[in-house]
Amino acid sequence: MSHHQDSAAAKQDPRLDISDVYLFKGQNGTVLVMNTNPVSADKGFHPEALYEFHIDTDDDAVQDLTFRFGFLAAEPDGRQAWVLERLTGAEATDRNASGALLASGRTEEIVTTPGGVKAFVGRAGDPFYLDGTVITAVLTALQSGAPVDLSEFDPQRASNIFAGTNVTAIVLEVPDELIGSETIGLWATTALDDHHGGWLQINRCATPLVSTLFDVTEAGFDDYNATDPHDDLANYGDLVRRKVASLVSANDTHSDPEGYGAATRDILFPDVLRYQVGTEAGFGAKVRNGRGLTESAPEAMFEIVLNAPVTMGLDAGDATGTLRAEFPYLSEPA
């Protein structure tokens, strides 16, 4: 439930559903991870869709660099051929533009190019972990502006509702010089060919749990996933400010609820993962720098919106499988 099956179009075709995005320092460069098709991971990638990593290098929430994956239809053995392009400048925002070919391969194999780019596309264990009772309590309080009621939660019986589940992952490690900036903002999207010369953006993901925690349709926009980060403050800023202010007021966790709501709005939007290239990643309530594969992103988000810690009694050991020390870093599928 970071972004697991959270938009109507993604629910209709789970291949287009981005569950999580990760951004961290790898062994040989910067690692970008887009996990899709959560829970089942048995449908592969849509052959008429684009799977894109967007990178903002000048802090205006508009992509200056895009790494784009496209796929062919599945072969008889279920595997799919893919190509990876790099697009810069105006082309980075144009889904009809052609970029520089970086790599190509087939799913379930690791590809390493002479230029040091590494890519893996295929099934993996889901590193996300979340207790269902806790997320329900926080969601209920946030939606109604009420105290968080954890009376039904027993830490001794905490369990990860995504334990033993898989994702179809895109894992890309690129030399830092291919990014070309010391500080970046990252988000991922899927877009489907509309067969009329355009593209329909189906899903986007960066900060974990944003669209799960906030009912963004209340703001008057049909689909948060179809919009872009540079419009987030205008589209959803007031909604988040009001909901957070109401929550901290009901829970008496801040002396200035309105001020805290505004501060939280500015933390969450634009919805991008900010990262200092070449440094250790970490996603916490107080400090965020990219997002690694092990930290408890839900607990960080709960504390951000509530201004008080909420523990789930879980850690990375409760996620599916065992993370690999080397590329592609994610665990083997369950």
Domain ranges of the chain: 8-318
CA–CA gap between residue 271 and residue 295 (Å, rounded): 19
- In sequence order, the 6+-apart residues with CB closer than 8 A to the CB of 154 are none
C-beta separation of 297 from 291 below 8 A: yes
What single-letter DSSP state applies at residue 72? Answer: P
Residues in the chain: 334
C-beta separation of 21 from 187 below 8 A: yes
- In sequence order, the 6+-apart residues with CB closer than 8 A to the CB of 123 are 41, 108, 166, 167, 168, 169, 333
CA–CA gap between residue 120 and residue 107 (Å, rounded): 7
Position 1 scores a pLDDT of 41
Residue from 19, 39, 317 nearest 166 by CA = 39
Determine the residue type at 34.
Answer: M
Tokens of 115: 């230029």
Q: Rounded to two decimals, what is the model's pTM? A: 0.95
Give the angle subtended at the CA of 289 by the CAs of 286 and 293, to the nearest 5°. Answer: 100
Tokens of 196: 């009329």
Residue from 216, 233, 208 nearest 285 by CA = 208
- Name the residue with tokens 């993962």: 273
CA–CA gap between residue 79 and residue 75 (Å, rounded): 6
Position 222 scores a pLDDT of 56
CA–CA gap between residue 209 and residue 187 (Å, rounded): 13
Cis peptide leading into residue 328 (ω within 30°): yes
Q: Which residues of the chain have pLDDT under 50?
A: 1, 5
Tokens of 240: 């988040």
- Using DSSP, state whether 159 is helix, strand or coil: coil
In the chain, which residue ranges form alpha helices assigned H by DSSP? 8-12, 132-144, 176-179, 210-213, 232-251, 257-268, 297-306
pLDDT digits (tens, 9 = 90+) for 38-54: 987 788 999 999 999 99
